[in-house]
Chain A
Amino acid sequence: MFPKASDLHKPNKPLIPNGLGVIYVLASATYLFLLYYYFQTTGAEVANDVASALVLAVCVLFGGFMGLLDDWMDLRWRYKAFFPLIAAIPLISLATRLPLRTYIVLPFFGIIDFGVYYYFIIIPLIVTIATNTVNQLGGLNGLETICPGIILSGLMLLSGSSAILLAVPFFVWFVLAFFNFRGKIFVGNTGSFAIGITLAAFAIISDLKTSLLVSLLPYIFNSSLILLTYFLFRTKAAVWFDGEKLSASHRRSLITVVAHNRRLTERQVVVIISLLVAASTSLAVLVQLFWT
């Protein structure tokens, strides 16, 4: 049913069904449509003629679609990186009509009010950053599913009544993450783009931009590292698999930093990075709850 891809970090490189993220996309869209129909009052309220559940559905669908395009069309990264800007459009429309804050509260910096630039610069920026960085950290079983899941749970914890928007998507994602971690499936680009956009869209809808950015710190670190080494030295990150364990001879991405000069199993790497993300997410939760 699903196209197969080989798992590079297993001894005999078995073929594993890929692209199961589409299940997440379809389940979330269906759930959000139903939510809009039956529970317009809880979190999915229609205020000023904007239905947040539907906005989220549009974004998730768009993310999935983008992933499919990525799987199928030969687009260069430099174009693909700006694709999420389209997904920002419904969010901008929502934000201008809902009374959302146009400022960001940053620890140490205090309140920064962007005014109208919030809609046209900050929102597109958040969507682009979240989507691309999430898409860039992957390649190990469980990595591209568990870490976004942790961030998602952190955001849901903070969001209050809006959390209902993600109840079913969250559950579906964790089922996928379970199988992904055990090496049974891949979610593919469809999944990683969709979850990236979910994070960004949900953070904007429930007004949790700072928390999202803090949670994403390991991701941002990873992407900066990859981009910097690529632009400065024209080198790409690669982990070396010796048939049993992973190791790396350089520090050009988060994975290689973790596996640098020490042999670790795939699971160990995934667990370490997940713990990092969990730490940043907890930090985000603490900052949101106690600092602001």
Chain B
Amino acid sequence: MGIGDVLSKERVVNGLKSLGKLRLTVNHASLLTFSTLLLILFIAFVIRVLPIKWEIQAGSIHLSEFDPYFQFRFTEYIVKHGFISWNWPQPWIDYQRWYPWGISIAMQGFPALPFTTAFLYNIVTALGVNIELMSFCAIIPPIMGMLACLALYFLGKDIGGKTVGLFAALFLALSSSFLQRTSLGFYDDEAIGIAALIIFLIMFLRAIDENRPQSSSMKYAVGAGLALGYFSAGWGAAYYPIDATAVFVLVLILLKRYSQRLLLSYSLTFGLGLFIAINVPKLSPTYLATAPILAASGVFLLLCVYEISQVLTTMKLKVIFVAAFLALIVGGFVALWQLGYMQDIAGKFLSVINPFTRITSPLTESVAEHRISAWGSIYYEFGMTILFFIIGLFFVLRNLNNRNLFLLILGLTSLYFASSMVRLFVLMAPIFGLLGAIGIVGILRPFITLLKEPPKIVTKRKYSLDYVGKEFSGITILLIFLILTTNFALSPQTGGVPKVYSQAYAPITITVGSIPIVPYEPVREWVDMLEYTRELGASTVVCSWWDYGYWLTVLGNVTSLCDNATINGTQIENVGFIFIANETQSIKMLKEYDANYTLVFTTIDTSGNWVGVGDEGKWGWMARISGKGKDRLISSGFMDASNSWGDSLEDAEKFGNYTLGYDATDSNEDGDYEDDGEIYANAKGQNTTIYKLMTYARDLWLYENGISDSEPTAPEYFEAAFIAGLSLSADDADKYGGIVPLVALYEVKYPSS
């Protein structure tokens, strides 16, 4: 065969034609799906990075709120010292926090998020991209939020087809609680938790799918185990997927839907997942002995029993087996109980099951996100999609296959949990989105079929209506569209502004000086203060209320006494005592810690009234939390028994029932306290250290701005080192909505004796 034959016209043409087969063949529908999905992901990402507006003006990207700084510090350590450094050769104890004891990060932190970020950061920097670690951490939540939406698309696609997937992804992208916790800078456990939860669900549901070959089931079971392990190593809420799955499998057993595949997948997934979990130092093998995990193990045992009883054939063998099994369980339970392994579920999670247990602890109660959510907030959160959620439940109930059964259990349990703790709304968001999508698609499906083809759809009707016209189904679709419009575009809950927009378009806490406004430019007082403390050196001890602990340690590079990790209740009581006691008592306590500085934060309006965002709104908690240590403080000589206070609300009111340092009586009984003479000074409140520190900063601002003539009297043992916000003029305060934030740092002057 000569070269001429090889290059003959026909062969060349055919060769070129066969090249054309390599082209991706994309049909119209999948192109549409793909572009819609891309658009949803784009929206999901863009609304999550909206707060970057203020960050660009401020010059650097910060993390929002408080907890993300814990994660950041952990990540920073891993990036600097390597992946195992935090727990090997010995656990890292961070002495810049919870002075003088320090805090063991290994025992307090979940490593999954810092690991993920450090891993990605190493890759990115190895590629030569020069980005600050904090900015990188800040951008992780939006990316993870977007990935969660993508994952939910695939879960929805598995359950009800592409349309369900798309709707579910859209609902999740626009869900306000999820948006809040994955927006720029919200670098916390939830960011990876939700994505891991969804991936776990996809994998596990595929693993128990009877239509797949056994080998593929095994692969998915391993995948689900890895996802579960990742979740457990990343977020304390891992009890939820574990127990929801256990309940699901239990229901399957009760419905006689047991299969060997179920046993195999369940044991593989949970074995792997829990194996990863117990290797997390914070969880440790005792994790297996906690009640929620024991429940999951119980279900595993049941599965085994079921399997064995199917193998056993004679009645006698069965009876022996069941008796032995029961004896084993009872014996094991008693043994564990006697040995003290049945540890209590962590207080936080117990309070979900019984909302009333929490009331006794002001420490947990003072954190807004742990409060019991009002039922009304479900409407605020989900709007009229509640309707589609309910219809989704209806459709799921009508066709109870394994997937739908799991979805039903998830829907009902998440609804229950979310209504008992605000923070858990975020767990509900993907499931709510999924069920809402199923509801919408279920309703629309017949109408869409009708639009596509002319056959008559017969409907039941008392006036014997026989078929619905095409236009009619068009109207139905329009109506559903309008209902969704009121949910996402014209939300009545937020006065017509899109809910998503009003949630997302808010600056990061520290960039806005911790005051709840949406200003045109960043509020710099807090950043100024932390720049100042950075000059003081890492070993300087600054005493502040726990909210500001992370900022002081991470951004201010000083040593703090307490922060949001709340690991040491006694220390928080002591810090509360420092602020709420009078100066002489405070100074004794401060001496215990050798604190060099004290920091208070207060917000006033331009005529000197307290706004309530700073410590002037937190003193009540300081009083009640320090009151918890009443007996201890009295016996160790810090608190005067005749002048003591406890942890009740009435005790806090001893310092002023109107506000700190002021009492009010409605003497003319007209129902309000604003008349002359009804508000009068409370000496005990005005003697507190926090009152003196806050009023000095306030009076100084009023004096320096010429609003008040009297020169303020300085506290006895505290000397103002730096008060951020003092240079702010009354005109400047207008751009902050008339609020003057004052961050005051006082040097502690111990008496010489």
Contacts and interface: CB of A to CB of B under 8 A. Distances in A.
Interface of A: 1-6, 8, 18-19, 22, 25-26, 29, 33, 36, 40, 46, 49-51, 54-55, 57-58, 61-62, 64-65, 68-69, 71-72, 74, 86, 89-90, 92-94, 96, 186
Given A5-B461, A89-B379, A92-B376, A61 B471 contact: no
15 contacts: A3-B467, A3-B469, A4-B465, A18-B465, A19-B472, A26-B478, A49-B495, A54-B490, A57-B486, A61-B486, A62-B384, A62-B387, A69-B443, A72-B468, A86-B384
A210 to B, nearest CB: 25
Contacts of A49: 493-495
Contacts of A26: 475, 478-479, 482
A2 B472 contact: yes
B463 interface: yes
A78 to B, nearest CB: 14
A90 B479 contact: no
Contacts, number: 105
Interface string B452-487: 000000011101111111011001101110110010
Interface of B: 376, 379-380, 384, 386-387, 390, 443, 446, 459-461, 463-469, 471-472, 475-476, 478-480, 482-483, 486, 490-496
Contacts of A71: 459, 461, 465, 468
Contacts of A55: 492
A18 B466 CA distance: 11
A25 B479 contact: yes
Contacts of B483: 58, 61-62, 65
Most buried by B among A2, A40, A94: A2
A62 B468 CA distance: 20
B495 A51 contact: yes
Contacts of B386: 86, 89
A68 B479 contact: yes
A54 B495 CA distance: 8
Contacts of A3: 465-469, 472
B384 A54 contact: no
B491 A54 contact: yes
Contact of B492 (A5, A8, A50): A50
A114 to B, nearest CB: 17
Contacts of B390: 86
Nearest to B475: A22
Contacts of A50: 492-493, 495
Given A26-B478, A51-B495, A1 B469 contact: yes
A36 B486 CA distance: 12
Contacts of A8: 463
A93 B376 contact: yes
Nearest to B380: A93
A137 to B, nearest CB: 14
Nearest to A8: B463
Nearest to A55: B492
A74 B496 CA distance: 35
A90 B384 contact: yes
Given A54-B491, A71-B468, A186-B463, 9 more contacts: A4-B466, A25-B479, A26-B475, A46-B496, A49-B494, A51-B492, A65-B479, A71-B459, A86-B384
B373 to A, nearest CB: 14
Given A36-B496, A54-B496, A6 B379 contact: no
